[in-house]
Structure 1
Amino acid sequence: MGSEPQHATSPAPDAPSLVHQVAPGPQLLETAAGTLRMLAEPTRLHLLWQLAEGPKSVTELAQASTVPRTVVSQHLAKLRLSGLVDTHRNGRHIIYSLHDGHLVRLIRETINHADHRLTGEPTHD
């Protein structure tokens, strides 16, 4: 086996795939670790949490954060360069959104997992 992921099944071309059966090789593991490193910073995780609810401008994200707008912009630039967020222009505003549904689910599950750890709520599947 090479460093490329081995897909056990392929979804129909028009059907979204929520789970991919893969055998993680070095390249896939490094890419996944890079994503997790980007999530490992609380301000970035909070921005991604907000974007999991839908696209937002820098202004909207800064208003919901506890950090200055310049800090929000710096974190968004890192997230964009890492491929976790996409942008599009709406008039004079740049609108940020999460790149895909896998990331939305990862963010939500990460926050929910932390909530269980903090509150002692029983775990579940």
Structure 2
Amino acid sequence: MEARVSSSRPRAAVLEPDRLDEAATAFALLASPMRLHIMWLLLAAESDVGGLAERTRASMPAVSQHLAKLKLAGLVRSRREGRRQVYLVDDPVMAAAVRLLLDPSQARFQPRASISAPAYPASTTASSA
């Protein structure tokens, strides 16, 4: 009788539905390119709404709405600095996930060709005359 060799990888733990819901909610928030961009910018430096709006090229009300959602989920927090409200990342685990996905040194994702652009060079054959 042959002995069965076990895999060297540990078995995945069973996760509670609440834990999965919590993680799915956090990732759903980051499914928005704007919120992902805001998180990336806040990882580099704390900022107010005006600074984020300038760097994302979005309106201040739009950035403010995205920040409110991120804050409600506990991914960012704010503090008062004089008359300004300054935002910073408040979830180290999600910060690590964003860095892992977006850091250019990780080269996780390669730029994709536009859907409307051909995946191959245009034909350069000369027409016969």
Q: With structure 2 as the length reference, what TM-score do the two structures score?
A: 0.69
**Inter-partner Cα distance in structure 2 for 1:59 and 1:37:** 25
What residue is the counterpart of 2:54 in the other structure? 63
What residue is the counterpart of 1:106 in the other structure? 97
The runs of 5 or more residues in structure 2 that have no matched partner are 1-12, 113-129
Distance 1:89 1:106, change over 3 A: same
Residue 48 (structure 1) aligned with residue 69 (structure 2): no
The secondary structure found in structure 2 opposite 1:24 is coil
The runs of 5 or more residues in structure 1 that have no matched partner are 1-21, 121-125
Superposed CA offset, 1:26-84 (max 9, x none): 11110000000000000010000001112111111111012111110111111111111
What residue is the counterpart of 1:34 in the other structure? 25
Match of 1:92 among 62, 69, 83: 83
Q: After superposing the two structures, state which structure 1 stretch, 103-112 or 41-50, moved more.
A: 103-112
Moved >2 Å (runs of 4+): 112-117
Which is helix-richer, 1 or 2? 1
What residue is the counterpart of 1:118 in the other structure? 110
Q: What code does the residue aligned with 1:102 have?
A: V
Identity among equivalent positions (%) equals 33
**Inter-partner Cα distance in structure 1 for 2:15 and 2:46:** 31
Q: With structure 1 as the length reference, what TM-score do the two structures score?
A: 0.71
In our comparison, the structure showing a higher alpha carbon Rg is 2
**Inter-partner Cα distance in structure 1 for 2:70 and 2:30:** 9
**Inter-partner Cα distance in structure 2 for 1:70 and 1:111:** 25
What residue is the counterpart of 2:8 in the other structure? none
What residue is the counterpart of 2:67 in the other structure? 76
Distance 1:90 1:23, change over 3 A: farther
The secondary structure found in structure 2 opposite 1:116 is coil
**Inter-partner Cα distance in structure 2 for 1:65 and 1:119:** 19
Q: Aligned-residue CA RMSD in angstroms? A: 2.3
